[in-house]
A and B are shown apart, each in its own frame.
Chain A
Amino acid sequence: MTALSHHVGRDPALPDPTAPLTATGNLRRRVAVSRLISILATASAVFAVALLFNVAYTVIQKGAPAISFSFLTQNSSGLAGGGIANALLGTIVLVAFGALIALPIGVLTGLYLTEFASPTSRFGNALKLVLDLLQGLPTIIVGVVVYGLLVASQHLETGFAGGIALAIVMLPMIARSSQEVLLLVPNSMREAADALGVERWRTVTGIILPAAAGGIATGAILSIARAAGETAPLLLVDSIYNPTQTQLNLFGHGVPSIPMFIYTTYDLPTTSALTRAWGAALVLLTAILAANVGARFLLARSRAKMGAR
């Protein structure tokens, strides 16, 4: 067949079969636009990651010189120096107290939404709206509210008020994430239990909660990590305390915390104080990012487990 060869004259309306396969004209423009968008999107992702690394690098670079064994184990001595041991313990106590309140209420609220409220239930839908509104609440308002509720009457800032404020911050996160995870539990499990005549509360405590435990724990860890870094509410209800003392009792006085330590130490007029503030920031950021990574692994594992059933 020599009909397609160059030597023979061919119909000029047909495309040249020997032409290289590259786009021309309109298609060329469309491909170029598409490629430009791809490049822009990739650059945006690179930029977002670079932002994270820039913040992390800044915190490490400015905070690492402060990190030492004594920085973690000594109490702060105000302007003179010292460590963050009491602030660290205070944050742990505050967050634990907040979680102790928010965790049961949050998980039970999630259970109510998935196990008891029908999709058309008026209270159930109102509750979902309430949780969304609580989650969208600026945390400074939580501080204002707890101030009005617990601090204003006696003008006494307490760790108790701080813990309650953190509980209000955590509650909607825990409730919403519990609800989401509980929805992932296959309905066939509930139906199987119903078919066997198992009472609803036994189904919930014996089958549904164990199946969802990993996911609920993930939500709890994420909300705890979030609460540990909250500054705004603590600034209003738990910022007056003796910065050099360890306070493990939440009542009657303020309890020191890492975010408040960072916030107040940064403003002290010495460079060593500045380094200590960044050092505390490094400790806090490391803990929070580690908690996030851990929560992710936990979630992936529990998802895999649920899928395997």
Chain B
Amino acid sequence: MSSRARPRFRLPALPAGRAGQSAGAGTGDRVLYGLCALAGLLAALVLIEVVYQVIHGAGPSISHFGIGFLGHSAWAPNFGIFGAAAAIYGTVLSSLMALIIATPLGIAVALYLSMMAPPAVRTIVGPLVEMLAAIPSVIVGFWGVDVLSPFAARHLQPFLHSVLGFIPLFGPPQTTGLSVFSAGLVLTLMILPIVAALSRDLFLTVPTELTEGAEALGATRWEIIRGVVLPTTASGVAAATVLGLGRALGEAIAVLQVIGDGAGIHSSLFLPGISLASRIANEFQTPDNKLDIPSLFYLALILLAIGLTTSVLARWIAGRFDVHRTLA
């Protein structure tokens, strides 16, 4: 388009450099476009390769166990018995627990940062909360083993059992603390900054005309939050929590360290369990059976399906909000 705008009558008088550039007009543009499109294609190719590799690797296990793999809870590599149910159960239970705790907590932190904190506090506390998300999972995991699990076993588990013991989830307290419960708490720490940071950014986009209008009508701060801020950002906040859920579902190392590597499905949160990602991390290096690695790929396929679904779901819920984790 720039070549079309170039005046023709200057052609004979042009110096050499100018003429050369004119002759090559569009080549640079085409090269840059080609490079950018190639990079985009490569990124798309990575995703296709991810899906292909996981399905391909799971092949032997899929043809051997079929869809029944999803329903079997036993996992005994030495005997060639593989089933995903216990790992799916542990994944869903620990992630939901994290989501239930981290969502209200994260929204509360976001409300504080966006509506209540003085500017000086906001510029310090905001980044501090986001830094929670920067802690490597292996460090969070060992903190979970050394600090959180003993605390949970000594204080949280007995308390919850005595108050809510009639619910099967809160069974008798265990001694080590390595449990689905601890995994849920560790995941809470990991998704809290995601929910908090994304929600804060959403709350800051609420037009001041709306909040100030409500204030002028005599609404209290809570009424502004409930009547204006939360309704206008609801879909974005929901998407943020789904993104947090996706992160929790796929966390391998930190969960592996605190979940206790238990077998079977138990109603009590305080017993050891296993999750999809942590089982893959735990057993990949030491296969006991020729179907072991394909079965771990099968677990990865289930995890991939869950992960892609949550990502698409988050995008779909977010609607007009462009919610995604750049920092987290």
Q: List A residues at the B interface (Cβ < 8 Å).
A: 30-31, 33-34, 37-38, 40-45, 47-49, 51-52, 54-55, 58-59, 62, 104-106, 108-109, 111-113, 115-116, 123, 126-127, 129-145, 147-149, 152, 168, 171-173, 175-177, 180, 194, 197-202, 204-205, 219, 222, 225-226, 228-232, 235-236, 239-240, 259, 262-263, 266, 277-278, 281, 284-285, 288-289, 292-293, 296
Contact = CB atoms under 8 A, between A and B. Distances in A.
Contacts of B111: 37, 41
Nearest to B37: A112
Given A38-B221, A262-B139, A52 B284 contact: no
A140 B220 contact: no
B2 A232 contact: no
B54 to A, nearest CB: 6
A230 B253 CA distance: 9
Given A229-B137, A288-B135, A141 B36 contact: no
Nearest to A137: B307
Label chain B's interface by main secondary structure: helix
Given A48-B192, A112-B36, A62 B307 contact: no
Contacts of A145: 49-50, 53-54
A229 B31 CA distance: 36
Contact of B57 (A108, A127, A129, A152): A152
A141 B132 contact: no
Contacts of B28: 199-202
A138 B302 CA distance: 12
A144 B53 contact: yes
A178 B126 CA distance: 22
A236 B326 contact: no
Nearest to A236: B284
B34 to A, nearest CB: 10
A133 B47 contact: yes
A109 B41 CA distance: 9
A145 B307 CA distance: 15
A197 B28 CA distance: 14
B134 A48 contact: no
Given A51-B189, A116-B33, A235-B281, A144 B54 contact: yes
9 contacts: A52-B135, A109-B40, A116-B36, A134-B47, A141-B54, A168-B50, A171-B43, A201-B28, A262-B139
A37 B225 contact: yes
B308 A30 contact: no
A65 B162 CA distance: 40
Contacts, number: 282
B222 interface: yes
A161 B128 CA distance: 33
Interface stretch (B80-88, B166-174, B175-183, B310-318): B310-318
B37 to A, nearest CB: 6
Interface of B: 1-2, 5-6, 25-26, 28-29, 31-33, 35-40, 42-44, 46-47, 49-50, 53-54, 56-57, 105, 108-109, 111-113, 116-117, 125, 127-132, 134-140, 142-143, 146-147, 189, 192-193, 196, 220-223, 225, 243, 246-247, 249-253, 277, 280-281, 284-285, 293, 296-297, 300, 303-304, 307-308, 310-312, 314-315, 324-327
B266 to A, nearest CB: 24
A270 B200 CA distance: 44
A136 B307 contact: yes
B116 A41 contact: yes
Nearest to B138: A231
Contacts of B326: 173, 176-177, 180, 219, 222
A40 B44 CA distance: 44
Contact of B109 (A48, A140, A143, A289): A48
Given A58-B143, A138-B249, A292-B131, A48 B193 contact: yes
A299 to B, nearest CB: 10
Given A134-B46, A140-B252, A222-B327, A44 B57 contact: no
B44 A136 contact: no
A131 B131 contact: no
